[in-house]
Structure 1
Amino acid sequence: MCTETALRRENGDRFCLSTAQAETLLTGAPWRRFLVIGDEVADGRGEPAEGYGHDGWADRVAASLRRIQPGLAYLNLGRKGRLAAEIRSRQLGRVLEFKPDLTALTCCGAELVRDPFDADSVEAEFDRVVAPLRDSGGDVLLVNWFDITRFSPRSSEETERLRIRLRELAERKQAVALRHGAIYVNLAEHPAAADRDVFGADGSAPTMRGHAIAAASVIQGLGAHLTGAGDACR
């Protein structure tokens, strides 16, 4: 990652990883079939950021894994606006057909602004997705995205309501990860989450700097899992 000379800001970003660093962290990675499901965050949407690459976090992770496993099969089913229930009903069948040995799941942007907000239902849907994937013998990675309320143009009352929901969803995702022995990466607690340029003009959508940092964090989480350390909930 971050090797092109044109990507000067990315190369110097302390929250990014170089190609060599990523390869070191992923040494011995066994995964040969990597699949990503979720919403627009999963599919790599984001605003350009000067000095950073144009690939979303999942594409970056796949590229790093492919350096370890050159024959890596990679499929991204992320779609804008997908609810957790829609991910299960529309994507899980294709997921199981693909037979991934590593699946990454990130979503819930739509749930955050949806009324009524039902965290119990979201957690149940996550259980219904993660359980069969773990039962099939594959690893599952749950990614909790950056806190979109930090630079929100919304009213203070609405921002606080979303912040409470974000915290609850993060707790539910972590609970699912712990229950099923999945890997959990919480970007909401990343130090870069306080940087304005991680988010686009609307304060919610990520920039490509956000994607670069997310990819680095995911690779670090996978590396910790491989060595039996860190935030792997196993």
Structure 2
Amino acid sequence: MPDHERKLYVAIGDSFTEGVGDWNKQLPNGVRGWADRVAEQLAKNSPGWQYANLAVRSKRMRHIIADQLEPAVAMNPTLITLYAGGNDIMDLGTSMEKLMADYRWMAKRLAATGARLVLFTGYNVKVSLLLEPLKKRNAYFNEQVRAIAKETGALLLDYETFTEYEDRRMWGDDRLHMSKAGHKYLAHRVLKLLGIKDSIKLTLFEPPERRSLRQRAAEQRQWINDWVLPLMGRKVRGVTMGDHLTARWPRPVTVPEKGGLRKFAKKQRKAERARRAA
């Protein structure tokens, strides 16, 4: 994109886009994520980029449409990334036809802004046999997203096909969200799709160590205790991890070409301390 043009990137969605799994205490909501990394690389490549990230973990399609869609459109962005529907797929009562009709409507609304729109298929995470019944739903979702990308002229990041994510180290402890390495690689692929060279240092893994059946069984028990049972408990109570969170970057910020968003956040904290001391 030429330097003289307006440059505003807006990311909308759920935990995938918020950055869960790429933990960083210095940034809003304690995460960084691939979208922050994309924004930083855009600014390095062409100074003057602004960035807003409206994504919040646990949000369903209806929440994203209600809370993020029109604020995103009102910002008049030049680049939009959209990932939505993953949480809906995991809700057994979801009508996939209705879900994708809503997705199609939202994608068309975003495409109508004239911004460059990026859509994503969903990765078929090899989490557990517990989630195998969701494979058909995910396949239908991906089939529809590919069709919607063609209909709207959106760029498609076919995340499902990335064999790099077969390595379990690309995933966090919950096995559902990408690790720091996974977020870095996804940012690299988004930038490649946009035709932007990046300076992201990708994680290079040594061949994985073989684990015994006993080790794998222990890991499975730990995963169920730490992640599955709490998740089921939240579903029973009707609460989510995103209920008390707000968007990380709700208004456009100009991304520093040096130091990135961590530098920006540090300045914000310093200004806030000064304001409280005044």
TM-score over 0.5 for the alignment? yes
Q: In 2, are the aligned partners of 1:29 and 1:65 still within 8 Å (CA)?
A: no
Q: In 2, are the aligned partners of 1:36 and 1:75 still within 8 Å (CA)?
A: yes
Q: Which residue of 2 aligns with 1:42?
A: 17
With over 3 angstroms needed to count, the CA separation of the structure-2 counterparts of 1:47 and 1:55, relative to structure 1, is closer
SS at match of 1:141: strand
Q: In 1, are the aligned partners of 2:23 and 2:32 still within 8 Å (CA)?
A: no
SS at match of 2:18: coil
SS at match of 1:202: coil
SS at match of 1:137: coil
Deviation at 1:69, TM superposition (A): 2.8
Deviation at 1:162, TM superposition (A): 1.4
Find out whether 1:113 has 2:85 as its counterpart. Answer: no
SS at match of 2:52: strand
AA in 1 matched with 2:175: G
AA in 2 matched with 1:174: R
Q: Which residue of 2 aligns with 1:33?
A: 8
1:79 to 40, 53, 56: 56
Find out whether 1:141 has 2:118 as its counterpart. Answer: yes
Q: Which residue of 1 aligns with 2:169?
A: 197
Give the alignment's TM-score, normalised by structure 2. Answer: 0.63
With over 3 angstroms needed to count, the CA separation of the structure-2 counterparts of 1:84 and 1:131, relative to structure 1, is same
Structure showing greater Rg: 2
Q: What is the aligned-residue RMSD (CA, Å)?
A: 2.3
The gaps in structure 1 that reach 5 residues or longer are: 1-25, 225-234
AA in 1 matched with 2:21: G
Q: In 2, are the aligned partners of 1:36 and 1:78 still within 8 Å (CA)?
A: yes
SS at match of 2:80: strand
Q: In 1, are the aligned partners of 2:169 and 2:181 still within 8 Å (CA)?
A: yes
Deviation at 1:31, TM superposition (A): 6.4
- Alpha-carbon distance in 1 for matches of 2:117, 2:5: 13
Deviation at 1:56, TM superposition (A): 0.8
Q: Deviations for 1:134-174, whole angstroms, at most 9, x for unmatched residues?
A: 222111101224322x1x13xx3x43211211111111111
Q: In 1, are the aligned partners of 2:12 and 2:55 still within 8 Å (CA)?
A: yes
With over 3 angstroms needed to count, the CA separation of the structure-2 counterparts of 1:29 and 1:38, relative to structure 1, is farther
Q: In 1, are the aligned partners of 2:122 and 2:138 still within 8 Å (CA)?
A: no
Deviation at 1:66, TM superposition (A): 1.0
Q: Which residue of 2 aligns with 1:6?
A: none
1:168 to 118, 121, 140: 140
1:58 to 30, 35, 46: 35
Share of identical aligned residues, percent?
25
Q: Which residue of 1 aligns with 2:185?
A: 213
Q: In 2, are the aligned partners of 1:123 and 1:176 still within 8 Å (CA)?
A: no
SS at match of 1:79: coil
Find out whether 1:88 has 2:65 as its counterpart. Answer: yes
- Alpha-carbon distance in 1 for matches of 2:82, 2:4: 19
- Alpha-carbon distance in 1 for matches of 2:6, 2:158: 22
With over 3 angstroms needed to count, the CA separation of the structure-2 counterparts of 1:166 and 1:28, relative to structure 1, is farther
Q: In 1, are the aligned partners of 2:13 and 2:84 still within 8 Å (CA)?
A: yes
Q: In 1, are the aligned partners of 2:89 and 2:96 still within 8 Å (CA)?
A: no
With over 3 angstroms needed to count, the CA separation of the structure-2 counterparts of 1:64 and 1:192, relative to structure 1, is same
Give the alignment's TM-score, normalised by structure 1. Answer: 0.74
With over 3 angstroms needed to count, the CA separation of the structure-2 counterparts of 1:147 and 1:28, relative to structure 1, is farther
Deviation at 1:72, TM superposition (A): 0.9
Deviation at 1:47, TM superposition (A): 4.8
2:194 to 206, 219, 222: 222
SS at match of 1:35: strand
Q: Which has the larger helix fraction?
A: 2
